[in-house]
Amino acid sequence: MKRFRMGQLYRYARPASPGLPDIDGIPNFHYIVASDGSPTLQLERGINAPSATRAVDGERLAVVLLSSNENKLGSAENPWHDTLAPDEGLARYFGDNKTPDVDPGTVSGNRTLLRQFELHTSPEKTKRELAAPILFFRSTRKGFKEFAGLGLITGAKRVTQFSDKNGGFFTNYLFDLAIISLTEEDESLAMLWIQDRRDPGREARVANAMAPKARRQWIKYGSPEIERIRRRVSRRHILPKREQVSSATSENGKTLEAVYRFYEPRRHRFEALASLACESMVRGTGAAYRRGWLTRGTGDGGLDFVGRLDIGEGLAGTKLVVLGQAKCERIDTATGGVHIARTVARLRRGWVGAYVTTSFFSEAVQREVYEDQYPVLLLNGTALANEVVKLKLAGGFANVEKFLEHVDADYEAQVSNRRPEEVLWD
C-alpha cells in the first residue's frame, strides 16, 4: 500500500515520473500520490490542492498539501517563516498573499485554507467529514520533500508583513494548525484514504473509512478532541552547535555579525535589542507579550530587562513576570551556564526567565535547563538574527546598522529602577 511516513524523505523530480517507485534510490513522491483516473498531486506552490471532487453527497476537497521551504529560513526573502514542529504537534503557516493593496482573502491559497478553516472548526459532524486533510511537507534541499505530518486548522488571523521586493507592507493570513497523531498507523499515512476522498462515487462518510484513527476521532467529537489526538514525541530538545550557528555568508550570519560589531564596544546597551527581540519571538508564537523596561547597567543582579506574558482574559486570565538576561558574547563561543543560573536564581514562583545571546547554548547548559525544568526561554544568536531581520524589514530600515542605531537611540528612555513585579500592574 502506498503511504507517506513521518520524517521520510521523498524524491520530487521534474518532470514527474509516476511509474517509478524510486528515483536515485529514494521513494518517488509522484509514485506515492499517483491515482488511476485522477490528475497527479503537486507541490509546485506553498498551498496546493486538486480540483474539488463532485461526489454523490456534495462537493468536497480531497486534500490540501502545504509545502514549506527551509532553505530560505531567516533570509530577507522569508523572515516570516513557517513553523513546523511535528514532535510538538503544532504548525504555523503563512498564506500566499505577498502583494500590497490586495485583500488576502481573495488570493487562491488563502481562499482555500479559509474555506477549510470553516469546516475544520465546525460543530457539525457532516461538515467535518467534508473537511480536507492537510498534509505537510518541507523542502530541505531542491528536489526533495520530507513528510511532516497530518494537520487540522485551529486558527486564522490577518497579519502585516513586509517585502521590499514586492513593494512594501502587505496583509496576509497566518494559520495555526494542530499536527495529529499517527501512532496507530505506525507513523504513516495511507494514500488509499486520499484516493477514496477523490472518488465521486463515495459519500464523505464512506470515503473517510481509511482515515487515521485520530482523524476519525476528531470527525466524531470535533475540536474538544484535538488535545487528546495531538502528536507528541517524548524526546529531549537539545540542539547541537551546528543548528544554532548560521553560516557567515548567510543572511542570518551577516546580520548577527553586524549586531555583534555594533554592541561589542557598548555591551550593556545590548539589552534594548534583546528585550525587543524577546517580544518579537514570543509574539511570533501567538502568545501575548508586553515589554516592560530595562534595568540600570550596574547592580542589576543578573537582570537586564523586564517583560510580561499575558495568558487568558478576564477572570480566566493571569499575568506572568518575565525576567530577561542579555549577553553580547563572541559568536563562536558557547554562553556560560553560570549566567543562566543567575537568571534562574532571581525567579519567584510563577515567574519566567528569558536569556538572549549573540552566541549559542552548549548541550550541557540545555540539558541542565531541561532536566531541572527551569522556566527559561533561550534565544540563541541565530534566532536573534532572525528576529532582527524581521524587525528591520517591518520598520522599513535600509540596513541592519540603521535599525540598530534606531533601537539604541531609545535606550535611555527605557531604563527604570522599578521592581520587576510592578510590570503586573501596568
Three-state secondary structure call for residue 141: coil
Side chain identity, residue 178: A
pLDDT grade, residue 234 (50/70/90)? low
End-to-end CA distance of the chain: 59
Rounded Cα distance between 155 and 355, Å, is 29
Side chain identity, residue 128: R
| pLDDT computed for residue 109 by the predictor | 96
| pLDDT computed for residue 79 by the predictor | 61
Task: Give 203: exposed, middle or buried? Use CB within 10 Å, 0-12, 13-18, 19+.
Answer: middle
| Interval 51-106: pLDDT, tens | 999 999 999 999 999 999 866 554 555 567 788 999 989 999 999 998 898 999 99
Question: What is the mean predicted confidence (pLDDT) over 366-389?
Answer: 91
| Interval 5-30: pLDDT, tens | 999 999 999 999 999 999 999 999 99
pLDDT for 114 beyond 70: yes
| Residue linked to cell 470527525 | 219
pLDDT for 297 beyond 70: no
CA dist 174 → 32, 65, 67, 101, 286 (Å): 29, 16, 15, 17, 10
Question: What is the mean predicted confidence (pLDDT) over 301-310?
Answer: 88
Percent of residues, the chain, with pLDDT higher than 70: 95
Q: Label residues 259-280 b or e (16+ Cβ within 10 Å = b).
A: bbebbeeeebbbbbbbbbbbbb
Contact 32, 103 (CB under 8 A): no
Question: What is the mean predicted confidence (pLDDT) over 165-185?
Answer: 90
CA dihedral of residues 33, 34, 39, 41 (deg, nearest 10): 20
| Interval 158-173: pLDDT, tens | 988 877 676 778 899 9
**CA neighbours closer than 13 Å in the CB half-sphere of residue 254:** 10
| Interval 26-49: pLDDT, tens | 999 999 999 988 999 999 999 999
Contact 160, 168 (CB under 8 A): no
Question: What is the mean predicted confidence (pLDDT) over 375-380?
Answer: 94
**Average pLDDT value over all residues in the chain:** 91
| Interval 122-138: pLDDT, tens | 999 999 999 999 999 99
